[in-house]
Amino acid sequence: MTFLNILINASYYVLSAAVSLILIRNIIKTRDAQEAVLYCIILMPFLLRVFHIK
């Protein structure tokens, strides 16, 4: 059980990092200014989680 928890925890951080990268890619690629701002806002909690801050 403890091992499974560690595995899920690690997977979660990997997923958070992957979503962060996708969001950054979308910010670069989008042609819509409003979307770019939206992606920046969505990115915040993911980065805070990836860096183990919140």
C-beta of 37: minimal distance to other proteins in Å? 5
Which residues are at the interface with other proteins (CB under 8 A)? 1-2, 5, 8-9, 12, 27-28, 31, 33, 36-37, 40-41, 43-44, 47-48, 51-54
C-beta of 13: minimal distance to other proteins in Å? 10
Assigned token pair, 20:
């962060």
Assigned token pair, 40:
């920046």
Instruction: State which residue, 17 or 43, has the beta carbon closest to other proteins.
Output: 43
CB 13 within 8 A of CB 50: yes
Closest CA to 42 of 31, 34, 53, 32: 34
